[in-house]
Amino acid sequence: MLKECWENVQKAAPLVHNITNYVTVNDVANVLLACGGSPIMSDEPEDVEDITSICGGLNINIGTLCKSSIEGMFRAGKKANELGHPVLLDPVGAGASKLRTDTANRLVEEVKFAVIRGNISEIKTIANGSGTTKGVDADVADAVMEENLPSAVQFAKNLAERLDTVIAITGAIDIVADKDTAYVIRNGRPEMGRITGTGCQLSGLCTAYVVANPGHTLEAAATAVTLMGVAGEIGWSHMHALDGNSTYRNRIIDAICHMDGDILESWAKIEKM
């Protein structure tokens, strides 16, 4: 599965439309190029329908929303739906402010998402319609750990069924689920949390993978999540004594650039549940 999904991205070179935050946008663009895809960014309401029409899929990230980009998200999302392009939602900070929570909820109501990817606090906010996210990081109390993994997997499957989408919850342990099947992924490194935007980058990757693997959204999303975790581990293995989070950021994107399907499979810690 992993190798096949990876190869399909190399063949398809998917063009991904991103409406994303201005904090991590450059890394999202470079990681899309690193993985074999191609990025285009546009959030102006009058521009987004044309742009999304020439792309294969749409990545909506609410990390730094403003009134104009919110309108852009709805217009682009609906257009992508019309065209049958997969759309991903990254509800950054849902639960941390009314505007973010409301925007995420309204997006889920009005746009059909192929994948919703966030940390556990954000996904719980989506599930409950409200939340108490502490900033853009997951609340420690919510964290997915071995002890609560079965219930977290069931939560993901239930939400996937209710919203008819794939749910990707990322953290120390990642869960990618549709209503019937979940993949649990134990790749990645805790130090990735000290780099801004690894989640945003993953959302970009995930969109590219879903575009390039039509009919296999669950597998594609799980592969992208595995890829990001593996790249975090490989990137870490290339760190020198004095390297810190800024160099680590480069090392992860470099590792995605040098990935191949066999490397990905040999590092993967993924199981079906």
Positions in the binding site for a second copy (CB under 8 A): 15, 21-27, 29-30, 33-34, 38-44, 46-47, 50-51, 54-55, 63-68, 93, 96-100, 134-137, 193-197, 238, 242-247, 249-258
Non-local (6+) Cβ contacts of 114 within 8 A are 57, 86, 87, 88, 165, 166, 210, 217
Nearer to a second copy, 21 or 81 (CB): 21
Min separation Cβ 246 and a second copy, Å:
4
Tokens of 210: 């879903």
Which helix (H) or strand (E) element contains residue 7?
helix 2-12
Q: Shortest distance, CB of residue 270 to a second copy, whole angstroms?
A: 23
- Min dist CB 90 to a second copy, Å, is 15
Which CB sits closer to a second copy, 66 or 145? 66
Residue number with CB closer to a second copy (171 or 197):
197
CB of 173 to a second copy, least distance (A): 21
C-alpha dist (Å) from residue 266 to 5, 206, 224: 15, 20, 15
Chain-centre distance for alpha carbon 213: 15
Residue 149 vs 261, nearer CB to a second copy: 261
Quick count: other Cβ atoms within 10 Å of Cβ 184? 21
Beta-carbon neighbour count of residue 96 at 10 Å? Answer: 19
Q: How many CB atoms lie within 10 A of CB 130?
A: 14
CA gap 12, 159 in Å, rounded: 30
The order of strands in the sheet holding 38-41 is 38-41, 15-19, 57-61, 87-90, 115-118, 166-169, 174-177, 182-185, 270-272
Whichever of 44 and 262 has its CB closer to a second copy, that residue is: 44
The answer to whether 113 touches 106, Cβ cutoff 8 Å, is no
The residue among 150 and 244 lying less far from a second copy, judged by its C-beta, is 244
Instruction: State in angstroms the smallest separation of the CB of 3 from a second copy.
Output: 20
Helix (H) or strand (E) segment spanning residue 43: none
In angstroms, what is the minimal distance from the CB of 202 to a second copy? 15
Q: Which is nearer to a second copy, 161 or 254 (CB)?
A: 254
Q: In angstroms, what is the minimal distance from the CB of 61 to a second copy?
A: 12
Shortest Å, Cβ 183 to a second copy: 26
Q: Which residue's CB is nearer to a second copy, number 132 or number 148?
A: 132
* Alpha carbons 215 and 211: distance in angstroms, whole number: 9
Neighbours of 250 (CB within 10 A): 15
